[in-house]
Amino acid sequence: MKTILFSDSAEDISSAAELIKKGEVVGIPTETVYGLGANALDEKAVRVVFAAKGRPADNPLIVHVADFSQAENYTSYIPSLAYKLADKFCPGPLTMVLQKNDKIPMVTSGGLDTVGIRVPSHAIMHKIIVESGCPIAAPSANISGLPSPTCAVHVMEDMNGRIAAVLDGGTSEFGVESTVISFETEDSVRILRPGAITKEMLLEICHEVIIDPSILKELEDGQEAASPGMKYKHYSPKANVIMVESSSADFRRFISENDGEKVYSLIYNSDEKDFPYNYMTYGETPLEQAHWIFQRLRELDSVGAETVYVRAPIKEGVGLAVYNRLIRAAGFEVIRI
Q: Residue number with the shortest CB distance to Mg ion?
A: 140
Q: Rounded to an integer, what distance in angstroms lies between the CA atom of residue 49 and that of residue 93?
A: 21
In 3-state terms the chain splits into helix, strand, coil percentages (rounded to 5) of 35, 20, 45
Between 62 and 81, whose beta carbon lies closer to Mg ion? 62
Cα 244 → chain centroid:
23
Nearest to 315 by CA among 170, 207, 217, 226: 217
| Smallest gap from residue 246 Cβ to ligand TXA (A) | 29
**CB contact set of 220 (below 8 Å; sequence gap of 6+):** none
Residue 169 binds: one of ligand TXA, Mg ion, none (C-beta under 5 to 8 A by kind):
none
User: 94-100 and 114-118: which strand pairing?
Assistant: antiparallel
Taking CB under 6 A as the criterion, the residue among 27, 169, 175, 229 binding ligand TXA is: 229
Q: Does 192 bind ligand TXA (CB under 6 A)?
A: yes
Min dist CB 178 to ligand TXA, Å, is 3
Q: Would you tell me how many other CB atoms lie within 10 Å of the CB of residue 23?
A: 16
**91 prior amide bond cis, ω within 30:** yes
Q: Which of 41, 46, 61, 104 binds ligand TXA (CB under 6 A)?
A: 61
Name the residue nearer to ligand TXA (CB basis): 49 or 266.
49
According to CB under 6 A, which one of 95, 121, 278, 289 is a site residue for ligand TXA? 95
How far does the chain reach from its first CA to its final CA, in angstroms?
50
Binding of ligand TXA by 116 (CB under 6 A): yes
- Binding partner of residue 289 among ligand TXA, Mg ion, none, CB cut-off 5 to 8 Å per kind: none
C-beta closer to ligand TXA: residue 34 or 309: 34
- Closest Cα to residue 183, out of 93, 77, 110, 257? 77
35, 147, 175, 317: which one binds ligand TXA (CB under 6 A):
35
Segment near ligand TXA (CB under 6 A), from 13-21, 53-61, 279-287, 289-297? 53-61
The backbone torsions φ and ψ at residue 123, rounded to the nearest 5 degrees and listed phi first, read: -60, -40
Round to whole Å and give the CA distance between 281 and 259: 17
Which of Mg ion, ligand TXA, none does 59 bind, CB closer than 5 to 8 A by kind? ligand TXA
Binding site for ligand TXA (CB under 6 A): 30, 32-33, 35, 59-62, 93, 95, 97, 109, 112, 114-116, 118, 138-140, 177-178, 180, 192-193, 227-229
